[in-house]
Amino acid sequence: MAEVKRVERPLSPHLQIYRPQLTSITSILTRITGNGLIVGTLLAVWWLLSAAISPEYFALANGVATSWFGDLVFTLSAWAVWYHYLAGLRHLYYDAGKGLDIPTAEKLGWACIIGSVVLTVITIILV
């Protein structure tokens, strides 16, 4: 049987020099916020369904929904809604063939991040 000679090869260069870009981070955040909204939706649906089951079960669900955990989930959900909305508008702008150059894409990325935080704060103040 022939003996196989193994060649020592270096890791791919991109693993050593890659730096995450704002456009890739905002794309990943769009996917995370879209999936993360499920948690807030499940908590809200559980709260609504518990009201139909019994007063005791509603007291439990209401206790969770109005606790620090519920506040955190609903605040992050509000941010996720705003971020996902603004990222969707940015994507529509890209689909029109505009804003695809790197400086504009980075400005739009920052606009999504900062805008979602500002809109979340406004939402919390108003609600």
Binding-site members are 84
The most distant pair of C-alpha atoms in the chain lies apart, rounded to whole Å, by 77
Q: 78 with 84: CB under 8 angstroms?
A: no
Tokens encoding 98: 């505009």
Virtual CA dihedral for 82, 103, 24, 27, nearest 10 degrees? 30
- Nearest Cα to Cα of residue 48 among 61, 38, 37, 34: 61
Name the binding residues for heme.
84
Q: Who contacts 117 (Cβ-Cβ below 8 Å, separation ≥6)? A: 79
